[in-house]
Amino acid sequence: MVSRIAVRKAVFPAEDYVLLKEFYEKILLKHGEQIVLKKGAPIATKK
């Protein structure tokens, strides 16, 4: 699985550092989780 995160700012003020750090920590936790695939009925698609 591949994920892509687009950050539209190149520079962040010092007061945003804590929130940015927490955001990246959550990303790392999600990437470390296992993915469970279950066989089931196909998902209906809209036309």
Question: If residue 14 lies in a helix (H) or strand (E), which one and from where to where?
Answer: none
- Model confidence over 11-47: pLDDT tens digits? 999 999 999 999 999 999 999 999 888 888 777 777 6
pTM above 0.75, yes or no: no
- First CA to last CA across the chain, in angstroms? 27
